[in-house]
Amino acid sequence: MAQLVCMGALLQCSFGAAPGPLSVLPVNRVLTGTPAATIMDSAPIVNVPSFAMCSSPSNPAVIAATAAALGVPTPMPCVPVTPAPWVPGAPTVLIGSMPALDNQSKLMCMWGGVIQINMAGQFTVAVP
């Protein structure tokens, strides 16, 4: 079974240089010690942190820096762009009428990165 994700979960982007913690606002009032996450906790900077430096070849900032460096790939500061919610989540477990977020879900960044959950933030609550 998958684990329920909560505030403080450790996220990593496939093009990011460092992991970052998930932030979950306590609006749904479901706690696992800290607020539990839903698939809608995908807002850049509010929920999903910067991953230090981005090396995605489709990121416009990286493209510009690489061109300025005469073709040498140059990472730039990460600003995630996540237009869609996490997928698939746990559709049988609802938190505030939204599917709960489990540690097997993925989030896509507009620049081609795949954000995954390395550590769920807690180890006792499982979801089907």
Instruction: Name the β-bridge partners of 117.
Output: 11
Q: Please count the helices (runs of H) and the strands (runs of E) in the chain.
A: 1, 10
pLDDT at 85: 98
Domain extents for the chain?
Answer: 1-51+80-120
CATH class of this structure's domain 1-51+80-120: mainly beta
Q: What is the pTM (predicted TM-score) of this model?
A: 0.94
pLDDT tens for each residue of 20-58: 999 999 999 999 999 999 999 999 999 999 999 999 999
